[in-house]
């Protein structure tokens, strides 16, 4: 009985037909036109700013502060507390999980909805001047190859350990916007090329808000190493 269950949960691994191409993305930061000095201005700017700005202040922030486990997960939340002294809104914005979105538009609408709802409940907060303005920025992204293109699981683990955290972010966080699905490049390759569905799912379930990018790397490495044992 036990043997059968083990057999079902660990199907034989396949030899990958396609290599995993480790890429990385580099970002050039642009200063945007939008600024906000109050929460109502933030709301307006959230509606009008380019997608790149939403990306910058949410997904990119995760990478910029990837070494910190504590603190707010996006710039809007951070500003709501530090400049507007609105801890409730800050917590609500921080709880928006970028993992739930496959489009920037979806993420933008959630941010707008969160601020709108807060201001409906606390209209006096709308036009209270912030201690400092929020400056919207945006990134120009350049995707670069790395020397690592493994076609085996051991090679994948080796590459994973050697690429930069920017590459981890590129394949694990940014990928869902590229793939337009609730997955990431690592899970997709491990499922499609190696045939390890459970491992792919385990990787997808890694919590990016309680791990640093370095922690994400270690977790993925452990999950894939278990496949070899």
Partner 1 sequence: MKSPQSRTATQDRPPGASAGPQLSAAAAGPPEESPAAVASRAPERPLPSSVLTPPAPSPPPHLDDYQNIIGQAQVDALRFLARELKGKTLKMVNSTAVGGGVAEMLNRLVPLISELGVNAHWDVITGGNDFFEVTKAFHNALHGSPYEFTQNAKDIFLMYNEQNRARMQFDEDLVVIHDPQPLALVCARGKSPARWVWRCHIDLSHPHAQLWEFLRPFVEQYDAAIFSSQSFARQLPITQYLFYPSIDPLSEKNKDLDESVVQKVCDEFGIDRSRPIVTQVSRFDRLKDPVGVVQAYKLAKKYVDCQLVLAGGGASDDPEGAAVLQEVKETAGNDPDIIILDLPPWCAIEINAIQRASTLVIQKSLREGFGLTVTEALWKGKPTIAGAVGGIPNQIIHKLTGTLVHSVEGCAFQIRYLLTHPEFAKRIGANGHEHVKENFLITTNVKRWLLLFRVLSEAGPANK
By the criterion CB under 8 A, which residues form the site for partner 1? 24, 26-31, 33, 64-68, 70-71, 78, 82, 132-133, 135, 137, 140, 142, 144-147, 162-164, 166-167
Helix or strand run (H / E) with residue 181: none
- Based on CB atoms, which residue is closest to partner 1, 57 or 99? 57
Q: How far is the CB of 104 from partner 1 (least distance, A)?
A: 20
Helix or strand run (H / E) with residue 94: helix 87-94
Q: How far is the CB of 99 from partner 1 (least distance, A)?
A: 22
DSSP strands (E only) in the chain: 23-36, 134-145
Residue with tokens 């916007």: 177
Alpha helices in 145-190 (DSSP H): 153-162, 165-172, 175-179, 185-189
- Based on CB atoms, which residue is closest to partner 1, 34 or 191? 34
How far apart (Å, rounded) are the C-alpha atoms in residues 132 and 159? 43
Q: How far is the CB of 64 from partner 1 (least distance, A)?
A: 7
- Based on CB atoms, which residue is closest to partner 1, 95 or 140? 140
Q: How far is the CB of 23 from partner 1 (least distance, A)?
A: 10
């Amino acid at each position: 009985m036990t043997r059968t269950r083990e057999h079902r949960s660990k199907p034989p691994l396949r030899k990958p037909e396609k290599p995993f191409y480790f890429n990385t993305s580099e970002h050039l930061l642009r200063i945007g036109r939008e600024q906000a000095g109050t929460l109502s201005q933030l709301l307006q700017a959230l509606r009008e700013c380019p997608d790149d700005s939403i990306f910058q202040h949410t997904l990119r922030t995760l990478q910029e502060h990837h070494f910190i486990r504590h603190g707010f997960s996006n710039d809007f939340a951070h500003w709501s507390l530090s400049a507007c002294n609105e801890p409730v809104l800050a917590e609500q914005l921080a709880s928006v999980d970028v993992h739930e979105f496959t489009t920037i538009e979806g993420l933008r609408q959630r941010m707008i909805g969160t601020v709108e709802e807060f201001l409906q409940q606390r209209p006096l907060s709308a036009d209270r001047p912030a201690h400092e303005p929020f400056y919207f920025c945006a990134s120009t992204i350049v995707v670069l190859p790395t020397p690592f293109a493994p076609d085996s699981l051991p090679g994948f683990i080796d590459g994973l350990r050697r690429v930069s955290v920017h590459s981890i972010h590129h394949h694990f966080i940014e990928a869902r916007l590229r793939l337009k699905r609730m997955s990431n490049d690592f899970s997709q390759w491990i499922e499609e090329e190696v045939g390890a569905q459970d491992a792919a799912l385990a990787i997808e379930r890694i919590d990016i808000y309680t791990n640093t990018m370095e922690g994400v790397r270690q977790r993925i490495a452990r999950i894939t190493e278990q496949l070899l044992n």
